[in-house]
Amino acid sequence: MSDKATRVGIMICTAKRPRMLQDCVDSLLAQQLEPDWQVEVCVVENDATPTSRGVVEAVPAESPVKVRYYQEPRRGIPFARNKTLEVGLANGYDWIVLIDDDERADPTWLAALMRTAIEHAADVVSGPVRRSYEAPPPRWWKLLKPIVGPAGMPLDEAPTNNTLLSARLIRPDGANLRFAEALTFGYEDIDFFSRAHKLGYRIVWSPDAFVEETIPASRVQPERLIARVQSTAAAQVLAARIRRGAARTFATFAPKGIRRLIGGALQCALFWPGKRLGSEKATDSYYRGRLRLARGLGIFRGLFAILPNYYSTVDGN
């Protein structure tokens, strides 16, 4: 690094979860920092009501990490994400780090992200999320497979739950990227970093930069999981429609949607009697059919830009 201080802004989007936000902020105040870093935390409240302002105001004035508070009253993840980018530009950060309000960072988290960025000449660095569950997910729900690989392993996309990015991605004299504000129900992060990758920006993996996330019991209830699948499918298809146009996207996804609607409906009908009788195998097969049906519905929601409302429900507090 040069003699010039490196300015780092850690961004948290939050809405109506002050307890979780408090735990997240506490973990960020405990980071192990290099003397030539100037680190600030920016909290963006995605709500017109300043529910979380008190968390920021409670940070001691003598804290080596300054915590700033902002509001984005337009409800929707991409609006809040874009607010963090505007804040990052206005504050002159060299690096912007994205973490979710329901996560807690290991004390060496930021150091690991920064080290990987420097050692591997990366524009974007993503790290792992270790999840624990207040209640076990259903048997029929497939958990995400963790990424396995060494530091510097190339990626072609990244989420926003544990990612560092160079300000070059968002500066007017750089890529000038923003999150797609049409994607108010998810996938805006994958879309953003996929576009960065296609522009030639280098995305790599940092296995030691981990955060912890506790999944509330409400998020693994069957109907909530099914709603999530539908929302994700809709977002993926709408993102494709934005990039490729309606006609090409319809030709690609409509047949898949029809197959999933028909297959899911038949599977639900076939195994519903067994579910009613208490058979575990039939119950699992029934819900897998519900997931297929949800993906089919999500595809057509995306094709016709009918927005799901999955994120209107806040899990946790």
Residue 159 has pLDDT above 90, yes or no: yes
Nearest C-alpha neighbor of 252 from the set 191, 184, 299, 193: 299
- Only one residue has tokens 């209830």, namely 221
Q: How many CB atoms lie within 10 A of CB 61?
A: 5
> Mean pLDDT throughout 188-198?
97
- Only one residue has tokens 């522009």, namely 199
Q: What are 57-76's pLDDT values in tens digits?
A: 999 988 999 999 999 999 99
Which of 186-190, 208-212, 259-263 is predicted with the least confidence, judged by mean pLDDT? Answer: 186-190
Domain ranges of the chain: 6-216, 221-312
Question: Where does the pLDDT of residue 307 fall: very low under 50, low under 70, confident under 90, or very high at 90 and above?
Answer: confident
Question: Where does the pLDDT of residue 39 fall: very low under 50, low under 70, confident under 90, or very high at 90 and above?
Answer: very high
Q: What are 253-286's pLDDT values in tens digits?
A: 999 999 999 999 999 999 999 999 999 999 999 9
Return left, alpha or beta for 92; rule: phi > 0 is left, psi -120 to 50 is alpha, else beta: left
**Whole-prediction pTM:** 0.93
Which of 75-84, 101-110, 139-148, 302-311 is predicted with the least confidence, judged by mean pLDDT? Answer: 302-311
Q: What are 236-250's pLDDT values in tens digits?
A: 999 999 999 999 999
C-alpha span between 311 and 231 (Å, rounded): 9
Q: What are 75-90's pLDDT values in tens digits?
A: 999 999 999 999 999 9
Question: Where does the pLDDT of residue 1 fall: very low under 50, low under 70, confident under 90, or very high at 90 and above?
Answer: very low
**Token pair listed for 210:** 């981990």
Which helix H or strand E contains 38, and what residues bound it? strand 37-45
| CA torsion through residues 242, 87, 207, 229, sign | negative
End-to-end, the C-alpha distance of the chain in Å comes to 40
> Mean pLDDT throughout 129-155?
95
C-alpha span between 45 and 248 (Å, rounded): 37
CA-atom Rg of the chain in angstroms: 21
- 10 Å CB burial of residue 301 (0-12, 13-18, 19+) is buried
Residue 2 has pLDDT above 80, yes or no: no
pLDDT of residue 250: 97
Question: Where does the pLDDT of residue 316 fall: very low under 50, low under 70, confident under 90, or very high at 90 and above?
Answer: confident
Percent of the chain at pLDDT > 90 equals 92
Residue 3 has pLDDT above 80, yes or no: no
Percent of the chain at pLDDT > 70 equals 99
Q: What are 283-296's pLDDT values in tens digits?
A: 999 999 999 999 99
- Buried b or exposed e, range 249-287, using 16+ CB within 10 angstroms: bbeebeeebeebbeebeebbeebeebbeeeeeebbbbbb
> Mean pLDDT throughout 146-165?
97
CATH number of 6-216: 3.90.550.10
Nearest C-alpha neighbor of 258 from the set 207, 292, 284: 292
C-alpha span between 139 and 288 (Å, rounded): 10
Contacts (Cβ under 8 Å, ≥6 apart) of 269: none
pLDDT of residue 267: 98
